[in-house]
């Protein structure tokens, strides 16, 4: 039976194993130090477990009143299409509060999933890559 936990202390090596088995290893850092910081600095993390096996995680940063940014939603490939991701998001929404919206940047192959579970596409997302700096003048 799958159990869901909120802010469970999870070792970086266990999350690293999930990243490597959820099909996101090419889109997320998996080195220990950086991954540990990603886990430590998240202030809302909902996890899914099958006994002692981590099968999914929703890692977020939230102010619990206006916005929760979903940094990662991942489910182990062998558990995908069983409602685990949907339940992780449902719990995340509940924990965030009634007035809080969820915001995320989707992997291209997950767009259909987010549409099916009720998210609306947003045309104004922007990113600044780590190797880019803020421009000092208007161009």
Residues 12-57: tens digit of each pLDDT? 889 889 988 887 666 776 777 888 999 999 999 999 999 999 999 9
pTM beyond cutoff 0.75: yes
Domain 2-116 has CATH 3.40.50.300: no
Taking only Cα atoms into account, the Rg of the chain, rounded to an integer number of angstroms, comes to: 16
DSSP E strand stretches across the chain: 2-6, 44-50, 53-62, 67-75, 101-104
- Could you tell me if 89 and 73 are in contact, meaning their C-beta atoms sit under 8 angstroms apart? yes
Percent of the chain surpassing pLDDT 70: 94
pLDDT in tens, 50-108: 999 999 999 999 999 999 999 999 999 999 999 999 999 999 999 999 999 999 998 87
Q: What is the pLDDT of residue 42?
A: 96
Domain boundaries, the chain: 2-116
């Amino acid at each position: 039976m799958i159990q869901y936990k909120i802010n469970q202390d999870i070792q970086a090596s266990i999350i690293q194993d999930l990243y490597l088995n959820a099909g996101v290893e090419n889109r997320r850092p998996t080195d220990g130090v950086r991954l540990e910081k990603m886990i430590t600095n998240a202030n809302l993390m909902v996890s899914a477990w099958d006994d002692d096996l981590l099968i999914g995680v929703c890692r977020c940063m939230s102010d619990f009143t206006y916005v929760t940014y979903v940094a990662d939603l991942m489910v182990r490939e062998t558990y995908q299409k069983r409602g685990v991701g949907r339940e992780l998001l449902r719990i995340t929404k509940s924990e965030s509060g009634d007035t809080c919206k969820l915001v995320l940047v989707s992997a291209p192959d997950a767009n259909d999933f987010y549409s099916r579970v009720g998210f609306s596409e947003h045309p104004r997302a922007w990113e600044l890559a780590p190797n880019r700096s803020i421009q000092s003048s208007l161009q």
